[in-house]
């Protein structure tokens, strides 16, 4: 079992570089199955989700080589094989294999997705899109089978997303790029990760227009070729380090940041009174003094990202007064609250709404990461706390934060990863 041990109270100073976007790369790797040639991804984060995806790709017959932060993938040997068990079940992003395998072979048998437990996250929108394009859905034990009649190509369709969904939007794009005719996705999600996946697919020869807007048009093509692609910076990792720098920093510069991907988040920091300097591809966060409490309400992009409400929570605990957090995306994303309570935080939940009051002097404690972003929240809290904090379930954290121990150590944190 792995644990993170933090001796808190050491103020952070220096520079940290944001890695490639986890929420992009977990879709980009399955997308490469659609290519008929070699694809190179640059800026790939060193996280366990990527390691699992590499293992899955190799098991399917792809050749994969890692060179520092680049992945070289030759998908031409990929076989259409059932993947009901193993690493597939540990990944929420495993559902992207539905779209890519359907697009390449007209069928897919893949285990039901896993990942963080954030309450119900149904994939009915994905299935609705696949069925509209001519696929049938059946279940084989713990796996789902999707198939067109006699393995024929999917057919273009007009698909309206009943709710805005990043996963369903990307999966529909993957299925549609080799479909016969035109596919229209209405009420599409607009997140930067969708634009990143569309950019890769277009560089491979796809015809996708409108990514980043709420209507995406896809003209199906017969073949896709190899290419080279730079993964966008991880806006959630950037927001996590910005929150950390504001909470316990003595001047921290966060590099490889795209401000336009973080406008909703940065606007809320400015409302709090956080002092920072925004440059073309970096943000310098000063040491903070008195900050104001705010009301945070998560929303689909370009609103305040649900993935950042947990990492910003320790910073909110330093403010002078009372505020609330309302997560409209995942109402049950409150498990970090009880763990922060163990660290003497004045924070509680009322009907799935988080209420906090500060300022707080956090105290080190034994806590448990219940999901990826809750884990990031506890790391920040541990850095701020007086005394030692021990975090278990750190596998969640390693799923999404590349080289987090090394990055924080370089900033002056007293943090280590141990294995028992």
The answer to the question of whether 154 is labelled as a binding residue is: no
SS3 (DSSP) at 110: strand
Residues 6+ apart with CB under 8 A from 306: 298, 327, 328, 329, 330, 333
Cα separation, 54 vs 60, in Å, equals 10
C-alpha 254/C-alpha 283 separation (Å) is 5
CA 272, CA 167: separation in Å to the nearest integer? 32
**295 labelled ligand-binding:** no
Cα–Cα distance, 143 to 409 (Å, whole number)? 42
CA-based nearest residue to 299, from 308, 288, 287, 290: 308
Please tell me whether 121 is known to bind a ligand.
yes
Does 124 count as an annotated binding residue? yes
Catalytic positions, written as ranges? 116
Render the burial of 71-93: b for 16+ CB within 10 Å, e for the rest: bebbbeebebeebbeebbbbbbb
* Residue 123 assigned ligand-binding role: yes
Q: Is 3 annotated as a binding residue?
A: no
Q: 309 with 289: CB under 8 angstroms?
A: no
Q: Does 125 count as an annotated binding residue?
A: yes
The set of residues, in sequence order, having a beta carbon less than 8 Å from that of 267 and lying 6+ positions away, is none
Q: Which long-range contacts (CB under 8 A, 24 or more apart) does 56-61 make?
A: 56/83, 56/86, 56/87, 56/88, 56/94, 56/97, 57/29, 57/32, 57/33, 59/83, 59/86, 60/33
Tell whether 307 is in a known binding site. yes
Binding-site members for phosphoenolpyruvate are: 22-23
Binding-site members for UDP-N-acetyl-alpha-D-glucosamine are: 92, 121-125, 307, 329
Binding-site members are: 22-23, 92, 121-125, 307, 329
């Amino acid at each position: 079992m792995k644990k993170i041990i933090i001796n808190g109270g050491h103020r952070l100073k220096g520079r940290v570089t944001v890695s490639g976007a986890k929420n992009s790369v977990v879709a980009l790797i399955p997308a490469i199955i659609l290519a008929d040639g070699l694809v190179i991804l640059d800026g790939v984060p060193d996280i366990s989700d990527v390691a699992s995806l590499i293992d899955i790709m190799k098991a399917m017959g792809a050749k994969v080589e890692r060179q520092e932060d680049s992945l070289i993938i030759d998908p031409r040997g990929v076989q259409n094989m059932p993947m009901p068990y193993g690493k597939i079940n540990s990944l929420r992003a495993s559902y992207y294999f539905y779209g890519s395998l359907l697009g390449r072979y007209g069928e897919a048998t893949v285990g039901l997705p896993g990942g963080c437990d954030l309450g119900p996250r149904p994939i009915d929108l994905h299935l609705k899109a696949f069925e509209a394009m001519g696929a049938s859905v059946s279940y084989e034990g713990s796996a789902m089978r999707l198939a067109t009649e006699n393995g024929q190509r999917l057919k273009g369709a007009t698909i309206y997303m009943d709710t805005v969904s990043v996963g369903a939007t990307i999966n529909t794009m993957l299925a549609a790029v080799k479909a016969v005719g035109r596919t229209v996705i209405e009420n599409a999600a607009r997140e930067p990760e969708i634009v990143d996946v569309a950019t890769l697919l277009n560089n491979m020869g796809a015809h996708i227009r409108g990514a980043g807007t709420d209507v995406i048009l896809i003209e199906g093509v017969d073949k896709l070729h190899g290419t080279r692609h730079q993964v966008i910076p991880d806006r959630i990792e950037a927001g996590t380090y910005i929150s950390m720098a504001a909470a316990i920093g003595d001047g921290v510069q966060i590099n490889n940041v795209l401000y336009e991907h973080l406008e909703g988040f940065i606007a809320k920091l400015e409302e709090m009174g956080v002092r920072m300097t925004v440059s073309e591809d970096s943000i310098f966060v000063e040491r903070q003094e008195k900050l104001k409490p705010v009301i945070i309400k998560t929303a689909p992009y370009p609103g305040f990202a649900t993935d950042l409400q947990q990492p910003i929570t320790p910073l909110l605990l330093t403010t002078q007064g009372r505020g609330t957090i309302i997560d409209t995306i995942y109402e049950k994303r409150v498990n970090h609250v009880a763990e922060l309570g163990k660290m003497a935080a004045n924070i509680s939940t009322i009907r799935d709404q988080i209420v906090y009051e500060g300022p707080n002097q956090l105290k080190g404690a034994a806590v448990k990461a219940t999901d990826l972003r809750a884990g990031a929240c506890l790391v920040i809290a541990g850095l701020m706390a007086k005394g030692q904090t021990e975090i278990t379930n750190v596998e969640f954290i390693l799923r999404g934060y590349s080289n987090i121990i090394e990055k924080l150590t370089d900033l002056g944190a007293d943090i280590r990863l141990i294995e028992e």
